[in-house]
Each structure stands twice: as structure tokens, then as C-alpha cells.
């Protein structure tokens, strides 16, 4: 299993758009996505290489550190490593541009491990509030179907 690399950081923000403007003014980072309701904002310096570098979420539970893996097999290996460690996977998500899983470290900090799918038709990033568990289950099945396509054990 290849090592995961730091991909992005997602922070809590009372006003995601205002905070993204601060980072634009200070570091010339560009707004690359978000919602019209100001519940989140995504910024970056090199969107052609990475979807976003920083994300800001109004909800503090969405804060996390994102680690990127190079292959779908690596993502699956991390999935099994996390499960074998007895760590609860909070959810898996098909972002379109990436497949991801989310869990917490020993102190409750959010972690995302993701694999970029190469699909660009879902960019810029867009995340709406999590609404119902039926939808979450559907996302899980889509994610698992993608994982199974690499002929690995069932998730």
C-alpha cells in the first residue's frame, strides 16, 4: 500500500465566503467552488493539479484533514486497514471527482482519505448539507461498486 499524501485541509468557518476572501487577499488563493448559501467554500492555487487546497465549512463537524492516495487499490487497502483497526468509518462518499471515506483520529479530528477519479465533470466542488440516511446508503453502494470493480474483497 502506497503512503497517503496530504491533499487538503477543511476548517470550520463562521463565514466561509469571507474567510475565502481573506485567503485570496493574503495568499492569492482562488475560489474554486462552494454553495450559494455560504455553507461552504473551496479555494486553491493550482486547480489543474488538485481540486482544492483549503475548504471552509460552516458546520464544525465537516472539518477534516484530507489525505490523497494514488490508486483505487490504495483506497481499498486503507479502507480495510481502518476497519481492521476497529475505527468507525463515519461515511463514504462519491464526490464524482473523488471517492472518499471519513473517520476520526484518536482525539476526534476528522480524516478523509480519497482517490481522485479523474472525472472533471463534477468540478468545482459542491457539497450540500447531509440530509437523509437513505441517500447516504445509496452513496455507500455506489462507492462499494467502484471498489468491487477492481476485483477486491467486498467492502
- pLDDT tens digits, one per residue of 17-75: 999 999 999 999 999 989 889 999 999 998 777 788 999 999 999 999 999 999 989 99
- Specify the pLDDT at position 23: 96
Three-class SS state of 74 = helix
| Residue 51, pLDDT score | 80
pLDDT at 126: 44
**Tell me, what's the pLDDT at 154?**
44
Distance between CA atoms of 45 and 29, rounded to whole angstroms? Answer: 5
CA distance readout (Å), 66 to 45, 99, 112, 129, 153: 16, 12, 5, 19, 25
Give the pLDDT confidence score for residue 135 in this predicted structure: 42
Q: What pTM does this model have? A: 0.77
How does DSSP classify residue 31? Answer: E
Q: What is the pLDDT of residue 3?
A: 92
Q: C-alpha angle with apex 151: 147 to 154, nearest 5 degrees?
A: 60
Cell of residue 38, nine digits: 455560504
pLDDT in tens, 117-139: 887 665 444 444 444 444 444 44
CB atoms within 10 A of CB 123: 16
> How far apart are alpha carbons 1 and 77 in whole angstroms?
7
Domains of the chain, earliest start first: 5-148 (3.10.180.10)
- Which among 2, 151, 140, 10 has a CA at the least distance from the CA of 75? 2
As a whole number, mean pLDDT of residues 105-126 equals: 79
Helices (H), the chain: 16-27, 72-84, 133-148
pLDDT of the residue at 104: 95
pLDDT for res 120: 67
Amino acid at each position: 500500500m502506497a503512503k497517503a499524501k496530504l491533499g487538503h485541509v477543511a476548517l470550520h468557518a463562521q463565514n466561509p465566503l469571507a474567510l475565502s476572501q481573506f485567503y485570496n487577499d493574503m495568499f492569492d488563493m482562488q475560489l474554486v467552488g462552494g454553495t450559494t448559501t455560504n455553507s461552504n467554500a473551496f479555494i486553491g492555487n493550482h486547480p489543474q493539479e488538485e481540486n482544492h487546497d483549503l475548504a471552509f465549512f460552516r458546520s464544525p463537524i465537516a472539518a477534516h484533514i484530507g489525505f490523497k492516495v494514488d490508486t483505487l487499490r490504495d483506497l481499498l487497502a486503507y479502507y480495510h486497514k481502518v476497519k481492521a483497526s476497529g475505527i468507525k468509518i463515519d461515511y463514504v462518499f462519491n464526490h464524482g471527482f473523488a471517492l472518499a471515506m471519513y473517520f476520526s483520529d484518536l482525539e476526534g479530528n476528522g480524516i478523509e482519505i480519497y482517490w481522485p477519479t479523474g472525472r472533471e465533470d463534477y468540478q468545482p466542488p459542491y457539497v450540500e448539507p447531509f440530509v437523509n440516511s437513505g441517500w447516504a446508503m445509496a452513496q455507500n453502494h455506489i462507492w462499494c461498486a467502484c471498489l468491487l470493480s477492481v476485483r477486491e474483497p467486498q467492502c
